[in-house]
C-alpha cells in the first residue's frame, strides 16, 4: 500500500473508532466498514485497529480470519455468493453454479483477473422457498435460472462505470504530503 | 450505545471470554455465612465453597479427573472436553473444569458414557496429531501420550493423519512451532495473551481449519514474540519447543581442536533433577559438574561468577545514575531497570522502546561471561579464542535469542556460541548414558569457580534485587548489610507476588571503596536518602509497572526495578523442565535460597575472583572504559508495529 | 402464507403496538406473567420457556441489562425470520420493547446476520418511524422512565453466532466461540451483564401475547407446546413458503398443505434436525415429539439420501467454530464416514463407531452445534440403511 493510501486509511480508521467507540466491542463494525470500502482488511488496517482498540494485532487477525465475510487478502470488489444449502441444492444450484463459472471465467474460490468479482459458496441465505439463491454484493437474486446469469452479471458490471478511485480526495487530506523521493533507493 | 465499563472476569483477564468461567451470581443468603454447598462425587460427600468448580472440588477430596486444556497458571478454557463428568439431572456431560458449583450436585466421574467420551476425544485428537512418539522430543513427557496410555488407546479408531499439513516455523531462535502436533488446547494463546500479555499467538480460521498462528501468519521471529518460552512450558504436546542446538554442541565437544566451556546457571541446577524423576526442589549442582565433564566439556564454570560481575557493574551504574541525578543535576533515566532477562529486554524494546534509556547497560551474566572467557580466560590460558566454544546452560529460551544478537560480539568473536536449556542438557546427559542424581558431586573449575550466594539467588524473582542491594548497601554505608537485614536475607524483596515494592533508607555513609573512586569522591549525597525499589515478574506485571511509571505513579519515584519476563523469575524460565505450576516453582525457589544460605561468601563484592578480575584485567574498575567495552551493551528499539 | 383463520403473526390485520399500548403503563411483572400464562417457548429451536428466561433476567442484578434479538437465522431451511423482518419488523421491535420493560433493560440490539444486509435499510427506517411515533427511544408512549432503544449490529457470516453465547462473543468483538455455561446470559451476558437473547419470532409472538392475553395463545397447540409456530417449508413440494400453523400439527397434515405428499423423507429442524422417513409421517411437530425451529425440508422420491447427509455435514464442518474437540474433529470424522458410504466402502463396524461418536458429540460438545450436528446423519443412516450401505461407487 502506498504511504498516501495508508494515511487516508489511518484517518478513516480513526474516524470509525471515534464513531463506534475505542473499545473491543467496536471491532466488528469497524472491520465490516473497512471490508466494505477496501474489499479486504490489510495488515496495516488490522494493526491500526488493534492500536486504537488496545488489543493485540493477532487478536484482530484472529477475528478477521474467523468470519466468512471478512477477508485478510484482497478479494474482488463484488462478492458473488451462491447458496449451497440443501433446499437450493434440491432446486438445482449445481447447474447455476456451473453457468456462473462459465460466464465469469473463474471457479468457485477464485477472483476474476480484473479484480472485480470473487465467487464463493455461502451457507443458507434464507431463501429456501425460492432457490437457487445468489447474493451479488448486497443484491439478492432468488429463483435464479441459468439463462439469467448473464444478465445479472452484466448489471453488476454496469454498476462499476468508471473504475472508482480508491483514494479520491487525497490531495485535500490534511495528512497528505507528497514527497517525490519517498521510497526510492538513493 | 452506552455500555458500562467492560466487566470481564473477576481477574480482569485479557483472554477471550469464551475461554473463561464468567462471573456467577452472588451466593444466595440461605447458604449460610461460609457459603458452602453440599455435593457428592462418586458417592463421596463433600462441602465446598460456593462457586468452586467441579474439578477443584474433586481434587480437594482426592478424586482425580483427567484434564488437558486446563492449567494451574492459566484461566479456564473448557475446550478439550476431556474432563467431562456426569451431573445428575443434566442432559449432557459437563466440563468439570468450567462448571462452578452453585447448588447441591451429584457427580459421577467414570460412568460408561464418560469413559467412552474421553476415549473418543483422545481418538479424535490422535486423528489429527501428526508424527510418531519415538521421533518426538516430548516422548515420555507428553500429556496426550499419558492420557492415551491411561485410556487404553491401541488403535486409530478414526484414522490417522499421514502427511504433515503445516510447515515447521523455526524462524525464532527461541521458540519453534510445529502445528502438526497441536491439539488446539489454546494454552499457548492464553499464556501469550493473558498470562504474559505479549500477544504473539492466537487461533485463526475456524472449524477443522483452526490453527494457532501469529499476526498475518508471519514467522515467529518477525513478530513481537519475546522468546520467553512460557508457551513451551505449558504446551501439553511436542508442538512447541525451544530451538535445540544439541547436535552442534556435540560436534564441538567431539572436535578435538575445540575447547568447549560450559557455564551453568542456578535455576537449571535447581530443576534439572525433575528431568530425572526427582521431586522439584533439590539442586544437583555438584552432580551436574561431574556429569558435564563426563559428557566431554573441557571446563565447567559457574554463571554466578558472572552474576557477581553483573552486580558490580549494575550497582555501580545505579550509583552513578543517582549521583548524576542528585549531584550533577543531570536529566538521567530513573528508575533503572535490570537488563539480565533477555525476554524482558525484548519486551521493552517492542512495547516501550521509549523507555530503553532506563535499562541498565550492563549485559546479562551469560553474555558477560562469554566475553570474559573469549578475552581474559583465553589469554591467560594461551588459547586461540576462535577455538573456544562457550555454551551456556540456562533455564531460558530467550537466551538463545540473546546470544545471537548482532551486538554480542564484544570479545571479537561470538561471545556465547550456544544457549542450552535445562531440558536439552538433561537430554544430552541421558544420551551419554548418565544417571544424573547418582553422580558424585564435584566442584566447578577455576578460575571462575568461586561464586557467592548473591549470584545464586539471581534465579528467583527478587534475587537480582537482593544481590544488588547487598552490594550497594555495603559499598555505600561501609557497613555490613546484616545490620539492616538479618543474615543478609533481604526478605522484603522475596516472594511470588507479581509486583513488589520495598524501601531502604541509607542512614549512614562510609568512605568510597577504592574500586569506585573513579566515579565518586564521596557518598554523602546518599545520606538520608530512601532507596525505593520495585520487583516485577511475568511480563503482564512488568507492563503494569512500566505503565505506572509512565502515568507518574508509585513506581515512577523508584530508583531501581528488577524485571523478569517469566513468572517466578528464571526458575520458571522457558527452558525449564515441563510441567510447571506455582507449587513446582515455589519448590525450586526454596532450593535456590537454600544454596544461598549455605554459600561461603554471600555478597558479590566479596567474591575474590571478581576482585581479581578488576585488579588484573578490567583495571579501570566497574563502569570504566574497559568494562563498558566488554561488559556493557546497547539496545534496539523495535516497536510493536510490524507493518 | 398462513391458511388458517387465526392470524397470529402473518395475518393482514395484525395490529401494531397494541401490546405496548396495553401493558406499557402497568406493572412490569405483569408482562412476564402474561407470557408465562401463554406457555410461550423459544421459537429459535431450543424451546426454552420464554417467561422463565425473562424472569431470571429480571431478578438478576447488573449495572445494565440488554435485550438481544437473535436475527442470525442461519439454520439451513429456515427463512421465517427473513419474512418477519421484511413484513412484520414493527411486531419484532414491539416485542423487544416489551421485553426491555419487563426485565428492566433500556438497550436492545438486533444481531442481524451479514447475509441479510439488504434488509438493514428497511429495518433502520422502521426504527426511525417508531422513534417518531414515540414507541421507541425515551419516554415511550409518554411513560417517564420507559426508555428503550434499539441498535442493529451486523454479523459477518458465521452460523455459530446464532448460538446465544457465541452471539454475545461476536457483539463483544471476539471470534464467535460459545462460552462456558453456567453461568448463563441471563446472569452474565453481554459485557457480563444480564442479557436475554430471543429469536425474532419469539419476540414478535410476545408482542401479540401481551396484546391478546396469554390464555388466548395457550388455547392453541399442545399442552407442552402452546400456540402457533411459523414453519419454513421448502424443497420438493408444490407450495414452499412460510406457514403459520398450530404446534402439534402432524407431518402428514403439513405435507398435504404444502403439496408434498409424495415425499420420501422430511428433514425436520434444518441441518441440526432429524430426518424422518414415511414411516414417521404421523408424528407431530412440537417440542415433545419432533422438536423444531420450524425448518421443514421436503425430500422428494428419487433423491439420494447420502447426498443430503453430505450436504449437512459439509455445512457443519464449514461452520463449526473449532473450539472444542468433539465438534471440530467429530464432524470431520462423520463426513469422512459419509464419503466412505458414498464410495460403498463403509463397514458396519465403522458405522457403529460413528454412531457411538455421534452420541459422544451430543453429550460433550461445548454448544448446540456440535451437540446436534450428528443427528441428521445418524437418522438418515438409521431410516435408510439399505439405501446407504453397499453403494456402487460412482465413476
Q: Classify residue B277: in a domain, yes or no.
A: yes
> Which H or E element spans position B255?
none
Which of C86, C87, C114 is the mutation pick for testing A, counting most A CBs within 10 A? Answer: C114
Q: How confident is the model at residue C1 (pLDDT cuts 50, 70, 90)?
A: very low
User: Is B330 marked active-site?
Assistant: no
pLDDT of residue A171: 34
* Chain B closest-CA separation from residue C109 CA (Å): 10
Residues B148 and B232 occupy one common structural domain: yes
pLDDT of residue C394: 65
Q: How confident is the model at residue A172 (pLDDT cuts 50, 70, 90)?
A: very low
pLDDT of residue A2: 84
Question: Residues B167-206, buried b or exposed e (16+ Cβ, 10 A)?
Answer: eebbbbbbbbbbbbbbbbbbbbbbbbbbbbbbbbbbbbeb
pLDDT above 60 for B619: yes
Given B72, B87, B110, which residue is the final one in a domain?
A: B110
pLDDT above 70 for A22: yes
Number of domains, chain B: 3
Asked if B17 and C179 come within 8 Å (Cβ–Cβ), the reply is yes
In this prediction the ipTM stands at 0.93
Grid coordinates 437465522 are at which residue?
C73
* Chain C closest-CA separation from residue B154 CA (Å): 15
Phi then psi dihedrals of residue B335, to 5 deg:
-70, 155
Asked if A46 and B202 come within 8 Å (Cβ–Cβ), the reply is no
pTM: 0.93
- Measure CB to CB from residue A62 to each of B1, B202, B223 and give the nearest one: B202
pLDDT above 60 for B82: yes
pLDDT of residue A42: 94
pLDDT of residue B73: 93
B102 touches chain C (CB under 8 A): yes
Q: What is the CATH number of the domain that holds B158?
A: 3.30.70.20
Asked if B207 and C362 come within 8 Å (Cβ–Cβ), the reply is no
Q: Which residues of C touch B76 (CB under 8 A)?
A: 180
* Distance between CA atoms of residues B251 and C386, nearest Å: 65
pLDDT of residue A184: 47
pLDDT of residue B5: 46
Nearest to B301 by CA among B339, B349, B263, B275: B263
User: Is B275 marked active-site?
Assistant: no
- Please report, for chain A, the start and end positions of each structural domain, with discontinuous segments joined by +: 3-73, 78-158
Average pLDDT score over chain A: 86
Do residues B75 and B20 make contact, with C-beta atoms less than 8 angstroms apart?
yes
Alpha-carbon dihedral sign for residues A118, A120, A124, A129: positive
Q: Classify residue B40: in a domain, yes or no.
A: yes
User: Is B399 marked active-site?
Assistant: yes
Residues B214 and B267 occupy one common structural domain: no
Nearest to B228 by CA among B272, B279, B188: B188
Nearest to B529 by CA among B477, B582, B466: B477
Q: Which residues of B touch C353 (CB under 8 A)?
A: 157-158
Q: How confident is the model at residue A170 (pLDDT cuts 50, 70, 90)?
A: very low
Residues B125 and B227 occupy one common structural domain: yes
Please identify among residues 140-169 of chain B the ones whose CB lies closer than 8 Å to any CB of chain C: 157-159
User: Is B314 marked active-site?
Assistant: yes
pLDDT of residue A173: 34
* Chain B closest-CA separation from residue A65 CA (Å): 5
| Closest residue of chain A to B206, computed from CA coordinates | A66
pLDDT of residue B145: 96
pLDDT above 50 for A162: no
B25 touches chain C (CB under 8 A): yes
Average pLDDT score over chain B: 92
pLDDT of residue C196: 97
The model's pLDDT over B550-592, given as tens digits with 9 standing for 90+, comes to 999 999 999 999 999 999 999 999 999 999 999 999 999 999 9
Please identify among residues 129-168 of chain A the ones whose CB lies closer than 8 Å to any CB of chain C: 129-131, 135, 138-140
Q: Which residues of C touch A81 (CB under 8 A)?
A: 115
pLDDT of residue C133: 95
Q: Contact partners of C by the rule of 3+ C-beta pairs under 8 A?
A: A, B
Q: What is the CATH number of the domain that holds B27?
A: 3.10.20.740
pLDDT above 50 for A175: no
* Distance between CA atoms of residues B93 and B112, nearest Å: 12
| Closest residue of chain B to C167, computed from CA coordinates | B18
Q: Classify residue B341: in a domain, yes or no.
A: no
Do residues C157 and C186 make contact, with C-beta atoms less than 8 angstroms apart?
no
pLDDT above 80 for B459: yes
The model's pLDDT over B143-179, given as tens digits with 9 standing for 90+, comes to 999 999 999 999 999 999 999 999 999 999 999 999 9
Asked if C234 and A123 come within 8 Å (Cβ–Cβ), the reply is no
Among the listed residues B360, B364, B411, B604, the single catalytic one is B360
Q: How confident is the model at residue A157 (pLDDT cuts 50, 70, 90)?
A: confident
The angle, 0 to 180 degrees and rounded to 10, between the axes of the packed helices C200-212 and C80-87 is 60
Start-to-end C-alpha separation, chain C = 43
B15 touches chain C (CB under 8 A): no
Q: What is the largest CA-CA distance in chain A?
A: 64
Asked if C82 and A126 come within 8 Å (Cβ–Cβ), the reply is yes
Q: Which residues of A touch B12 (CB under 8 A)?
A: none
- Measure CB to CB from residue B76 to each of C175, C180, C321 and give the nearest one: C180
Asked if C324 and B1 come within 8 Å (Cβ–Cβ), the reply is no
Q: Classify residue B613: in a domain, yes or no.
A: no
pLDDT of residue C6: 61
pLDDT above 50 for C3: no
pLDDT above 50 for A105: yes
pLDDT of residue C231: 96
Given B48, B81, B110, which residue is the final one in a domain?
A: B110
Residues B238 and B282 occupy one common structural domain: no
Residues B26 and B63 occupy one common structural domain: yes
pLDDT of residue B461: 95
pLDDT of residue A94: 95
Given B242, B269, B293, which residue is the final one in a domain?
A: B242
pLDDT above 70 for B14: no
Q: Which residues of A touch C267 (CB under 8 A)?
A: 86
pLDDT of residue B18: 67
Q: Classify residue B580: in a domain, yes or no.
A: no
Q: How confident is the model at residue B138 (pLDDT cuts 50, 70, 90)?
A: very high
Query: What's the rounded mean pLDDT across residues B55-77?
Result: 95
User: Is B570 marked active-site?
Assistant: yes
Using a 10 angstrom Cβ sphere, with 0-12 exposed, 13-18 middle and 19 or more buried, the burial of residue B133 is middle
pLDDT above 60 for A178: no
Residues B288 and B403 occupy one common structural domain: yes
Residues B233 and B269 occupy one common structural domain: no
Query: What's the rounded mean pLDDT across residues C183-189?
Result: 94
Residues B238 and B161 occupy one common structural domain: yes
Residues B375 and B390 occupy one common structural domain: yes
Among the listed residues B287, B317, B349, B474, the single catalytic one is B317
User: Is B339 marked active-site?
Assistant: no
The model's pLDDT over A68-91, given as tens digits with 9 standing for 90+, comes to 999 999 999 999 999 999 999 999
Domain A3-73 CATH superfamily: NADH-quinone oxidoreductase subunit E (1.10.10.1590)
What domains sit in chain C, N to C, each tagged with a CATH number? 18-218 (3.40.50.11540), 228-299 (3.10.20.600), 305-388 (1.20.1440.230)
* Chain C closest-CA separation from residue B142 CA (Å): 18
Q: What is the CATH number of the domain that holds B424?
A: 3.40.50.1780
Q: Which residues of A touch B642 (CB under 8 A)?
A: 43, 47, 57
User: Is B407 marked active-site?
Assistant: yes
Query: What's the rounded mean pLDDT across residues B27-45?
Result: 81
Can you give the residue range of the structural domain that contains B192? 121-242
Asked if A61 and B204 come within 8 Å (Cβ–Cβ), the reply is yes
Do residues B568 and B537 make contact, with C-beta atoms less than 8 angstroms apart?
yes
Asked if C363 and B80 come within 8 Å (Cβ–Cβ), the reply is no
pLDDT above 60 for A166: no
Q: Classify residue B280: in a domain, yes or no.
A: yes
Q: Which residues of B touch C187 (CB under 8 A)?
A: 24-25
Do residues C169 and C178 make contact, with C-beta atoms less than 8 angstroms apart?
yes
Q: Which residues of A touch C295 (CB under 8 A)?
A: 128
Q: Contact partners of A by the rule of 3+ C-beta pairs under 8 A?
A: B, C
* Chain B closest-CA separation from residue C180 CA (Å): 6
Asked if A58 and B205 come within 8 Å (Cβ–Cβ), the reply is no
pLDDT above 60 for A183: no
Average pLDDT score over chain C: 94
Query: What's the rounded mean pLDDT across residues B10-24?
Result: 63
- Report how far apart, in Å, the C-alpha atoms of B149 and of each of B142, B152, C247 are: 11, 5, 51
Least confident of A177-181, B334-338, B479-483, C159-163: A177-181
Residues B157 and B227 occupy one common structural domain: yes
pLDDT above 80 for B89: yes
Least confident of A24-38, B8-22, C134-148, C153-167: B8-22
Q: Which residues of A touch B6 (CB under 8 A)?
A: 23-25
Residues B101 and B224 occupy one common structural domain: no
Domain at A78-158: CATH code: 3.40.30.10
pLDDT of residue C13: 82
| Closest residue of chain A to B201, computed from CA coordinates | A58
Residues B194 and B284 occupy one common structural domain: no
| Rg of chain B (C-alpha set) | 26
> Percent of chain B, pLDDT > 90?
87
* A·C CB contacts under 8 A: 129
pLDDT above 60 for B348: yes
pLDDT above 80 for A168: no
Amino acid at each position: 500500500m502506498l504511504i498516501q493510501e495508508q494515511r487516508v486509511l489511518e484517518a478513516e480508521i480513526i474516524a470509525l473508532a471515534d464513531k463506534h467507540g475505542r473499545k473491543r466491542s467496536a471491532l466488528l463494525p469497524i472491520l465490516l466498514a473497512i471490508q466494505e470500502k477496501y474489499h479486504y482488511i490489510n495488515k496495516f488496517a488490522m494493526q491500526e485497529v488493534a492500536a486504537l482498540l488496545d488489543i493485540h494485532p493477532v487478536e484482530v487477525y484472529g477475528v478477521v480470519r474467523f468470519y466468512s465475510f471478512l477477508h485478510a487478502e484482497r478479494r474482488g470488489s463484488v462478492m458473488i455468493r451462491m447458496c449451497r444449502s440443501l433446499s437450493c441444492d434440491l432446486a438445482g444450484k449445481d447447474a447455476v453454479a456451473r453457468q456462473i463459472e462459465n460466464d465469469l471465467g473463474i471457479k468457485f474460490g477464485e477472483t476474476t483477473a480484473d479484480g472485480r468479482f470473487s465467487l464463493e459458496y455461502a451457507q443458507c441465505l434464507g431463501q429456501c422457498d425460492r432457490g437457487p439463491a445468489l447474493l451479488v454484493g448486497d443484491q439478492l437474486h432468488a429463483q435464479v435460472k441459468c439463462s439469467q446469469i448473464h444478465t445479472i452479471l452484466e448489471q453488476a458490471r454496469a454498476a462499476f462505470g468508471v473504475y472508482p478511485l480508491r483514494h479520491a480526495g487525497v490531495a485535500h487530506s490534511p495528512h497528505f504530503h507528497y514527497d517525490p523521493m519517498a521510497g526510492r533507493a538513493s | 450505545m452506552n455500555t458500562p465499563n467492560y466487566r470481564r472476569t473477576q481477574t480482569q483477564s485479557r483472554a477471550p471470554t469464551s475461554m473463561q468461567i464468567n462471573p456467577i451470581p452472588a451466593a444466595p443468603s440461605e447458604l449460610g455465612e461460609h457459603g458452602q454447598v453440599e455435593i457428592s462425587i462418586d458417592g463421596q460427600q463433600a462441602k465446598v465453597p460456593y462457586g468452586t468448580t467441579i474439578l477443584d472440588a474433586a481434587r480437594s477430596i482426592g478424586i482425580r479427573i483427567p484434564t488437558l486444556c486446563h492449567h494451574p497458571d492459566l484461566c479456564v478454557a473448557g475446550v478439550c472436553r476431556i474432563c467431562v463428568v456426569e451431573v445428575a439431572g443434566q442432559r449432557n456431560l459437563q466440563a468439570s473444569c468450567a462448571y462452578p458449583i452453585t447448588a447441591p450436585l451429584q457427580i459421577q466421574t467414570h460412568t460408561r458414557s464418560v469413559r467412552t467420551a474421553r476415549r473418543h476425544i483422545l481418538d479424535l485428537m490422535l486423528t489429527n496429531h501428526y508424527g510418531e512418539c519415538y521421533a518426538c522430543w516430548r516422548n515420555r513427557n507428553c500429556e496426550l501420550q499419558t492420557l492415551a496410555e491411561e485410556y487404553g488407546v491401541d488403535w486409530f479408531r478414526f484414522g490417522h493423519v499421514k502427511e504433515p499439513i503445516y510447515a515447521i516455523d523455526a524462524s525464532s531462535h527461541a521458540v519453534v512451532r510445529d502445528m502438526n502436533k497441536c491439539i488446539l488446547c489454546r494454552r499457548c494463546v492464553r499464556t501469550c495473551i493473558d498470562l504474559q500479555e505479549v500477544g504473539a499467538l492466537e487461533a485463526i480460521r475456524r472449524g477443522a481449519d483452526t490453527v494457532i498462528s501469529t499476526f498475518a501468519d508471519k514467522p515467529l521471529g518477525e513478530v513481537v514474540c519475546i522468546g520467553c518460552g512460557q508457551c513451551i512450558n505449558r504446551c501439553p504436546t511436542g508442538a512447541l519447543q525451544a530451538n535445540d542446538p544439541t547436535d552442534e554442541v556435540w560436534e564441538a565437544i567431539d572436535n578435538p581442536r575445540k575447547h568447549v566451556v560450559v557455564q551453568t546457571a542456578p535455576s537449571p541446577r535447581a530443576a534439572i533433577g525433575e528431568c530425572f524423576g526427582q521431586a522439584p526442589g533439590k539442586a544437583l549442582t555438584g552432580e551436574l559438574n561431574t556429569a558435564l565433564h563426563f559428557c566431554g566439556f573441557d571446563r565447567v564454570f559457574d554463571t554466578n561468577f558472572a552474576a557477581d560481575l553483573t552486580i558490580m557493574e549494575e550497582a555501580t551504574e545505579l550509583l552513578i545514575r543517582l549521583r548524576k541525578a542528585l549531584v550533577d543535576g543531570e536529566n538521567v533515566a530513573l528508575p533503572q531497570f535490570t537488563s539480565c532477562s533477555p525476554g524482558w529486554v525484548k519486551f521493552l524494546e517492542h512495547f516501550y522502546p521509549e523507555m530503553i534509556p532506563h535499562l541498565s547497560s550492563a549485559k546479562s551474566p551469560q553474555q558477560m561471561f562469554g566475553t570474559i572467557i573469549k578475552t581474559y580466560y583465553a589469554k591467560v590460558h594461551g588459547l586461540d579464542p576462535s577455538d573456544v566454544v562457550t555454551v551456556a546452560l540456562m533455564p531460558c529460551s530467550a537466551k538463545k535469542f540473546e546470544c545471537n544478537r548482532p551486538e554480542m560480539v564484544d570479545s571479537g568473536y561470538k561471545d556465547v556460541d550456544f544457549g542450552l536449556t535445562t531440558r536439552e542438557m538433561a537430554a544430552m546427559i541421558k544420551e551419554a548414558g548418565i544417571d544424573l542424581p547418582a553422580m558424585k558431586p564435584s566442584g566447578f573449575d577455576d578460575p571462575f569457580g568461586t561464586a557467592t550466594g548473591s549470584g545464586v539467588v539471581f534465579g528467583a524473582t527478587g534475587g537480582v534485587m537482593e544481590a544488588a542491594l547487598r552490594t550497594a548497601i555495603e559499598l555505600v554505608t561501609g557497613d555490613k548489610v546484616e545490620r539492616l537485614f538479618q543474615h543478609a536475607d533481604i526478605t522484603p524483596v522475596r516472594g511470588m507476588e507479581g509486583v513488589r515494592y520495598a524501601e531502604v533508607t541509607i542512614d549512614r555513609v562510609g568512605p568510597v571503596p577504592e574500586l569506585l573512586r573513579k566515579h565518586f569522591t564521596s557518598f554523602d549525597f546518599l545520606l538520608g536518602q530512601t532507596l525505593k525499589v520495585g520487583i516485577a515478574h511475568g511480563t503482564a506485571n512488568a507492563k503494569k509497572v512500566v505503565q505506572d511509571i509512565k502515568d507518574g505513579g508509585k513506581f515512577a519515584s523508584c530508583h531501581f526495578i528488577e524485571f523478569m519476563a517469566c513468572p517466578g523469575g528464571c526458575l520458571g524460565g522457558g527452558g525449564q523442565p515441563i510441567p510447571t505450576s506455582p507449587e513446582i516453582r515455589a519448590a525450586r525457589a526454596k532450593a535456590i535460597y537454600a544454596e544461598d544460605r549455605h554459600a561461603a561468601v554471600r555478597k558479590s563484592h566479596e567474591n575474590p575472583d571478581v576482585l581479581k578480575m578488576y585488579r588484573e584485567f578490567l583495571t579501570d574498575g566497574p563502569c570504566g572504559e574497559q568494562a563498558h567495552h566488554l561488559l556493557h551493551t546497547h539496545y534496539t528499539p523495535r516497536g510493536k508495529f510490524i507493518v | 402464507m398462513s391458511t388458517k383463520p387465526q392470524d397470529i403473526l402473518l395475518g393482514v390485520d395484525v395490529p401494531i403496538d397494541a401490546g405496548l399500548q396495553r401493558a406499557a403503563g402497568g406493572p412490569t411483572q405483569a408482562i412476564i406473567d402474561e407470557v408465562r400464562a401463554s406457555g410461550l417457548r423459544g421459537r429459535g429451536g431450543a424451546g426454552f420457556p420464554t417467561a422463565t428466561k425473562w424472569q431470571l433476567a429480571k431478578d438478576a442484578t447488573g449495572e445494565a441489562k440488554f435485550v438481544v434479538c437473535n436475527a442470525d437465522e442461519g439454520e439451513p431451511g429456515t427463512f421465517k425470520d427473513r419474512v418477519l423482518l421484511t413484513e412484520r419488523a414493527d411486531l419484532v421491535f414491539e416485542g423487544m420493547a416489551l421485553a426491555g420493560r419487563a426485565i428492566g433493560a433500556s438497550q436492545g440490539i438486533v444481531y442481524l446476520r451479514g447475509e441479510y444486509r439488504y434488509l438493514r435499510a428497511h429495518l433502520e427506517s422502521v426504527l426511525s418511524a417508531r422513534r417518531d411515533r414515540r414507541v421507541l427511544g425515551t419516554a415511550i408512549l409518554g411513560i417517564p422512565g420507559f426508555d428503550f432503544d434499539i441498535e442493529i449490529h451486523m454479523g459477518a457470516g458465521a452460523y455459530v453466532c446464532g448460538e446465544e453465547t457465541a452471539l454475545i462473543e461476536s457483539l463483544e468483538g471476539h471470534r464467535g466461540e460459545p462460552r462456558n455455561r453456567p453461568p448463563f446470559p441471563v446472569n452474565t451476558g453481554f459485557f457480563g451483564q444480564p442479557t436475554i437473547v430471543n429469536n425474532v419470532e419469539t419476540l414478535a409472538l410476545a408482542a401479540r401475547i401481551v396484546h391478546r392475553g396469554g390464555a388466548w395463545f395457550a388455547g392453541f397447540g399442545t399442552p407442552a407446546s402452546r400456540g402457533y409456530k411459523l414453519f419454513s417449508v421448502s424443497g420438493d413440494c408444490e407450495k414452499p413458503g412460510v406457514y403459520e400453523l398450530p404446534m402439534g400439527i402432524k407431518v402428514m397434515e403439513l405435507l398435504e398443505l404444502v403439496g408434498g405428499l409424495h415425499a420420501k423423507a422430511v428433514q425436520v429442524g434444518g441441518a441440526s434436525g432429524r430426518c424422518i422417513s414415511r414411516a414417521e409421517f404421523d408424528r407431530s411437530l412440537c417440542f415433545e415429539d419432533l422438536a423444531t425451529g420450524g425448518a421443514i425440508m421436503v425430500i422428494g422420491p428419487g433423491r439420494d439420501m447420502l447426498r443430503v447427509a453430505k450436504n449437512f455435514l459439509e455445512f457443519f464442518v464449514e461452520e463449526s467454530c473449532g473450539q472444542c474437540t468433539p465438534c471440530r474433529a467429530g464432524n470431520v470424522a462423520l463426513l469422512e464416514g459419509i464419503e466412505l458410504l458414498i464410495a460403498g466402502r463403509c463397514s458396519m463396524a465403522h458405522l457403529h463407531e460413528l454412531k457411538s461418536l455421534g452420541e459422544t458429540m451430543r453429550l460433550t460438545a461445548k454448544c448446540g452445534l456440535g451437540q446436534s450436528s450428528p443427528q441428521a446423519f445418524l437418522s438418515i443412516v438409521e431410516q435408510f440403511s439399505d439405501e446407504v450401505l453397499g453403494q456402487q461407487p460412482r465413476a
